Structure 1
Amino acid sequence: MEEGNKIMITKRKLFLLIAGIAVFSMVAGGMFALYAQSQMADEASLYFRLFRDTFYQAYSRYVVAPDPQKLIYGAIKGMLGSLDPHSQFLDAKTLKDLKVSTQGSFGGIGIQIDIRDNVLTVVSPIAGTPAAKLGIQAGDRIVKIENVSTRGITTDGAIGKLRGQPGTEVTISIQREGVDQLMDFTITRANIEIKSIPYSGFVKNKIGYIWLANFSEKSGPDLGRAIQSLENQGVKQLILDLRNNPGGLLNEAVEISSNFIDKGSMVVFTRGRLPDANRDFKVASDPLYGAKKGTMVVLINQGSASASEIVAGAMQDWDRALIIGQTSFGKGSVQTVIPLGDSIAMKLTTAKYYTPSGRCIHRDNSAWQSGEIDIYDDDTTKAKLDKLNNEGEEITKDTTGSDSLAAKEVFTTVGGLKRKVYGGGGITPDVKVDLPLLKKLESNLERKTLFFKFAIKYTVVNKDLPQNLEVDASMLAEFKKLLADEKFEYTEQEFKESEAYIKKAVKRELLSKLYGDKAMTAFLLEGDLQVQKAVELLEKHKDLNKLLQTGQNK
């Protein structure tokens, strides 16, 4: 009798579910008809019935009773995935992650982590956070979280356990180089800010440098403070580094551009299928660092995408800055987040964006399949989300496609100089500066994180190295001992050919371990070829028009 009741209950649930889908099908068909009253609507209604029938057969006849949520979620993911790589279904976890990336903060302990040698490892504690205050160090191996082994854990899995509401506690067990016993730390979570600007300062004389790493809600105010700080120190010229910045909120791209471009100027405009997707974005206030205050260079590479390309494109089109580096990614579409329930949503491509000169820098090629590089319609996305509650020399290949100018559509700048600029495949720099490829030995050393491991081991004994340290012969000998311990194979000829790179990489990791990421970044900028080119041209041309005329696109 009990088994019969279970069958009846299951059948009843199935009936209600199918009935609900059928009703939704009819409503959807009616909505399509009201909206379009066309053959297209009838065709869509027909395909919806096909979906309903397919779901019914899978749900009722599959060898093992399937989870209806998984069936529906899987179907939605497939449907949106067929449109483009950036339209997607956002389940509760994905939506939460999106909120973190756009809001620029989360509850956590303040460490950057990675899996190194199959062990969860602290790459770097974030200055000023609970973990840093308790003495968590780069290289610490997290072997337990809440007394549960981390063996086999993924980075995402660890993040899920370490993050939580500010004020709550989490206990981690640390294995540290040079310490025999495990070290237990009970850490009170706090609100952790994601830095939009990891570094700002001066690279030479009065040439300021700002590294903008992402576009979140905090990026505009953060940039304003960075500019003001440099101005207080007498900045005369400025480098804005957008390399490897994957983008983010559209309105933040407009706000960033507004710091440099005259009031009333167009920053970007969007065009889509529906009227509400057609919008113009203009500068609403006087710039904080306008053309009269100093010349500028913007750095881009193939990792600069979406919102980064809006800023670079606007600066180039208005003849406000010289663009140096490599052709950008070419991600020229806008995504809108549409709620589907209390904790789920869909992210849908609703428009393409255009620079002030009318360029669409959207690139159609296989590189699109490789990443989650998106720009979000801030006016709609932020409110709905609230409601729903490395370094340059490691780039070994330009994957963004051909840089041939002959294959690109030609436009002219709107700032007065009428320089040639190009559309149809990312932002083409005015001055192209490629970076050297890594040799095989260098690539293998980086891939196996051996520079990082050396810094962790070496600083156990050598804790008082000066910030202006030099990597000498004795230090290289110690590095070779580590390679022997790790059974890493190489030839002396290979080592000799890569010695300059090895010295630089060793110093990089030692500075990061002993003095933090800012000291490391300042050191890396000294040898950065694209930054060096920017400094060279800024020193040579104090006049903006003369600086811009040095570009290849004039």
Structure 2
Amino acid sequence: MTDQSPYRHETSNEAMSRPSSPSTWKYVLTALISATFTFVITAAILIAVFFSIGPGVGSTDSFSIDLQSNDEQTRRAADKLKTVYHYISNEYYRELTEAEMLEAMSAGLAYSMESPYTMYLTAEQNALIEESMSGEYSGIGAIVAMGNDGLIEITELVENGPAIEAGLQIGDVFVSVDGEDVTSLPDVSTLAAMVRGPEDSEVELEIYRPSERSNLTFSPVRRTIENASVRYRMLDDQIGYISISEFSHGVSQNFISAVDSLKQQGADSIVFDLRNNGGGLADEVVDMLDYLLPELTLATLEGRSSGQIFERSWESDAKVGVPEDMEFAVLINQFSASASELFSGCLQDHDRAVLVGKQSFGKGSGTITFPLSDGSALTVTNFLYYLPDGESIEGTGLTPDIDIELPDEARVKSVAQLTLEEDTQLSAAIEQLQKD
């Protein structure tokens, strides 16, 4: 199961009813929910509050805080923090070490930010994300997401992976892993750590399948998952197809090779499939768009770095790797997020592609991750990006030019498993390109 950075209850009986699907999702694992900067981030970060550990003067508490500001509002907030620290330290049902208290404060500060993409990652969570970005890990080959209801469901399956072979489907909701309830986990990385394990070992999964309104048990055997981020083929004599599952390291080179191969095979138009692609590295997307577009603005960024507000833009250069009259269609759905939306929205705004499918996720922001000394990391929402027409898609997403849903029976399958007859979205894209 899968952001990069320096920037994806109770056990229920068979009658369990599935809460309605949320309109937004807090995390998407294996689909990077962040973008990364393509310029150097300085190590010196200005912050408003500095912490120091040591005996406080005239106090029995061993925690003190030094502030840059001394206004009344700041003093009141500092007094309240000290009071909260005191009560948790002395009244919580079990005794906490000071290290545990400070760890909780680190996490709490990050998670209290308005942006849901600012978060504290434990060392284990950070390691899982870095492993996923490498494109290889030992697991079952399932991509998952957590909804606002706190339940974790499968959003995509790796082609020919253990999950598909065991019979798992898109939309399946995790209930337990090896007998341990997982319906109230704090995040998807905790589930990922439970599901991953040594190669050739078995993991028992209890899932709830909404289409059957019942709980089912599966026992996939873990193995090394090599997630091919780019797959391509010719759909007919003139239309090529490229599926991009995530924008991980090196995907732009694989993408360019795929485009070149399709051109050599006679393609004069291409369908880009970004369904269930949660995003990835911004520099990879920029390199891909640079190959498709002439010298144009790809996006404008507004954010903060080292305490200073900045505005900059991503630009393509004059070198183009495809004919000017080559036509494109992009397939998107509710799990197409972040870097996927940058790619799709840029082509749409420059009138180079028609978007087909359903409204996308709506993540128009980028994050930067700062590794910490113990292996943990802090991911901070660092900028908003605006598409060429000046639009921000944060919280809204992209509206497809051709709005079309998959049939019910097709939604439980991996995109790679769909036949052309089942895949109404791909069929609509082909029809549109044939018209043009």
**Alignment-derived partner of residue 398 in structure 2:** 427
Corresponding position: 1:537 with 2:432: yes
Q: Work out which of the residue numbers 345, 367, 374 in structure 2 matches 1:342.
A: 374
Aligned partner (choices 194, 217, 227) of residue 194 of structure 1: 227
What residue is the counterpart of 1:204 in the other structure?
Answer: 236
Distance 1:346 1:426 in 2: 26
Listed as ranges, the matches of 1:352-391 within 5 Å are 352-363=384-395
| Corresponding residue number in structure 1 for 2:86 | 56
Letter in 1 for 2:344: A
Deviations 1:195-246 (A, max 9, x none): 222x321223320111112221132122122212212322111111222221
Matched, 1:21 2:63: yes
Identify which of 300, 318, 324 aligns with 1:291. Answer: 324
Q: Which has the higher helix share?
A: 1
Instruction: Determine if contact 1:204/1:535 at 8 Å carries over to the other structure.
Output: no
| Structure 1 segments of 4+ aligned residues over 4 angstroms from their partners | 13-20, 109-114, 123-127, 153-159, 161-164, 168-174
Partner of residue 314, structure 2: 281
Q: Aligned in 2, Cα 1:316/1:158: closer, same or farther, shift over 3 Å?
A: closer
Q: Does residue 121 of structure 2 align to residue 90 of structure 1?
A: yes
Cα root mean square deviation, aligned: 4.0
Aligned with 2:178 (options 135, 146, 150): 150
Q: Is the counterpart of residue 234 in structure 1 residue 276 in structure 2?
A: no
Structure 1 pair 45/89, CA: closer, same or farther in 2 (3 Å)?
farther
Deviations 1:365-423 (A, max 9, x none): xxxxxxxxxxxxxxxxxxxxxxxxxxxxxxxxxxxxxxxxxxxxxxxxxxxxxxxxxxx
- Are 1:203 and 1:526, in contact at CA under 8 Å, matched by a contact in 2? no
Change (3 A) 1:20 1:358: farther
Mapped to 1, the partners of 2:329 and 2:245 lie a distance apart of: 16
Mapped to 2, the partners of 1:323 and 1:173 lie a distance apart of 39
- Which position in structure 2 is the counterpart of 1:306? 338
Q: What CA distance in whole angstroms lies between the structure 1 residues aligned with 2:192 and 2:113?
A: 30
Matched residue count: 343
1:219 is matched with: 251
| Residues 255-277 of structure 1: per-residue CA shift (max 9 Å, x gap) | 22122111x32111210245464
Matched position secondary structure for 2:245: coil
Q: 2:291 maps to which residue?
A: 259
Deviation at 1:21, TM superposition (A): 3.0
Q: How does 1:45-84 map to 2 (within 5 A)?
A: 46-84=76-114
Q: CA deviation at 1:158?
A: 8.0
Give CA deviations for 1:278-308 in whole Å, capped at 9, x if unaligned: 321112462323524x111122223222111
More strand by share: 2
Distance 1:348 1:173 in 2: 34
* 1:453-472 correspondence runs (5 A): none
- Structure 2 residue aligned with 1:498: none
Tell me the secondary structure at the aligned position of residue 292 of structure 2. coil
Which residue among 270, 276, 299 is the counterpart of 1:244? 276
CA 1:244 to 1:277, structure 2 compared with 1: closer, same or farther past 3 Å? farther
Counterpart pick for 1:332 among 338, 358, 364: 364
Q: Map 1:360-509 onto structure 2 (within 5 A).
A: 360-363=392-395, 425-429=396-400, 431-435=401-405, 438=408
Report the alpha carbon displacement of residue 62 of structure 1 after superposing the two structures with TM: 3.9
1:269 to 280, 288, 300: 300
Report the Cα distance in structure 1 between the residues aligned to 2:303 and 2:158, rounded to whole angstroms: 43
1:528 matched to 2:423? The reply is yes
Structure 1: distance between partners of 2:157 and 2:428: 30
Q: Distance in 2 between matches of 1:66 and 1:243?
A: 45
In structure 2, relative to structure 1, the CA distance for the partners of 1:106 and 1:15 (3 Å cut) is: farther
| Deviation (angstroms), 1:433 | 2.3
AA aligned to 1:59 is S
Q: How far does residue 247 in structure 1 lie from its aligned partner after superposition?
A: 1.3
TM-score (norm 2): 0.66
Of structures 1 and 2, the one with the larger relative CO (CA 8 A, separation 6+) is 2
Structure 2: 5+ residue stretches without partners: 1-52, 145-155, 169-176, 183-187, 205-219
CA distance in 2, matches of 1:79, 1:157: 20
